[in-house]
Amino acid sequence: MIEVKLLTHTAADPMELASHAARVCYQSEMPEWGKVIDVKGRLFDVGHHTTLQHWFATFSVSGIAVGDVTFGLHLCHPFYDSDQRSGRFCAEMFLEPDFGKMEEYGAFFWPQVEDGVRREIMDYVRKGFSVYQQNIFRAGEIAQRFLKEERPFAPEKYFEENGPKISQEQMRMFIPVIFPTALVFTVDLSALAAMYRSAWSPATRFVTQGMADLICKKYPSVGFMFDPSTRRQTDWGVDFGNDFAAPGLRFEPGLELLSLEGRDFHIPSPEITHPVDQLYFLPEMMENTAGSIRTEIEISLATMGQDQRHRTISRGRPAFTGDFYLPPIVKELGLGNPALELMKLWINFYRRVPSSLFSLLAPYGAMVRYRKTGNFNAVSHEQGKRTCRCAQEEIYHLAVKLRREIFEEHGESPLLASFEPPCFKTGVCGEGKRYCGRDIRTREKGDYFSIRKV
């Protein structure tokens, strides 16, 4: 079951800190520390919540489903910091899954589901893991072969270490996102109060209740912020788009450039963006926040989780497309039919289980579509990370598609000079010891943003 722990928090009492911040606003001289005003009446109830954002807490959350992070804790609001267990690095978690925990998760949060349907669900979950486990070692061999073809300057140790990681990253497409994960989550007081009220699934209500309880136990005076009567009572889950007909296979992500507003783009020098990104902090870069790029994308759930890491990008509500993303290694293994069979089993639960549960039963490879908007600085930061070969394959190709869309519609836009990894600009890898082994010389004479398999 989900376990929520309070790791650390602002040392001050939240009521004293909010009161002090408010009194700075109200007085002509700096106030003395310690005097507490009526925080509920003068600040909370009237919406003066910036005073509450000076106090934060950091939690560890373990045992939560991947889908309850992607479609829950990380979905809407950008007011958090989060580090989640990696699907690339934690190999043992897919090889030795605890089916009992997943079954317990479903029974705890959706007790209304009938026993017969619950057995069907677990058969479906085991099916996905079976495809993964039967093919993961062959996938590792293919990954190493692809790595040697694409990254000629990587040492043999690189292939041995990264082949299994990348094969796992691509083979996980068959695993349902009810699979448990863990994360460290930092949030300020006003954001947690909003999350507590708006939580739209059983697990997000459980987690935010646990966070609120831990804070209220230590500081009972904040209890008024977490009134159970203010909580949302209805659940929400991801639905299918209007164009859904039947499950299909996709071999690349989809992207449509909807609009590019503003042409005055200031090109940052490499030292501005790496290793410390200063785009949002320098006055010379301020004008970049006035322009924006709008896109509509179609990606797998696995990549949606990666996409949420850039919180300065605004995202619309996702919808399932009904398609399954087949990465290059999985395609090489000829696993298209097992993918379609798994999708049909999943779609069979549609309308038979609560929507919040149906969302969590989706495999990592199920594709979603949504719109994105970001100002030039935000997108520049995002693309600089994603055109790096250390980014996962699908999200790299999404970035390359955006480059090509901008070039086709706007020509040699100055924006393209910013949508580049550090190695393209400087000829030196920005990842240090994690250098991918690609031929950096092709930045001078070839297609640096080529199609890659791994």
* pLDDT tens for each residue of 186-221: 999 999 999 999 999 999 999 999 999 999 999 999
- Are 236 and 358 contacting, i.e. CB atoms less than 8 angstroms apart? no
pLDDT of residue 89: 63
The pTM (predicted TM-score) of the whole model is: 0.94
**Which range has the top average pLDDT, 17-31, 77-91, 324-338?**
324-338
Checking if the pLDDT of 413 tops 70, the result is yes
- Are 358 and 319 contacting, i.e. CB atoms less than 8 angstroms apart? no
Checking if the pLDDT of 433 tops 90, the result is no
Lowest mean pLDDT among 93-102, 166-175, 206-215: 93-102
Q: Do domains 3-86+179-230 and 248-445 have the same CATH topology?
A: yes
Q: Which residues of 323-355 are buried (b: 16+ CB within 10 A; e: fewer)?
A: bbbbbbbbbbbebeebbbebbebbbebeeebbb
For tokens 């029974």, what's the residue? Answer: 107
pLDDT of residue 118: 97
Checking if the pLDDT of 7 tops 80, the result is yes
* Percent of the chain predicted with pLDDT > 70: 98
Checking if the pLDDT of 358 tops 90, the result is yes
Structural tokens at position 385: 């990370």
Band of pLDDT at residue 100, cut at 50, 70 and 90: very high
Neighbours of 367 (CB within 10 A): 28
* Domain 248-445, CATH: 3.30.1360.170
How do the domains of the chain map onto residue ranges? Answer: 3-86+179-230, 92-174, 248-445
Domain 3-86+179-230 fold is: Gyrase A; domain 2 (3.30.1360)
pLDDT of residue 12: 96
Average pLDDT, integer, range 86-94: 70
pLDDT of residue 90: 66
Band of pLDDT at residue 92, cut at 50, 70 and 90: low
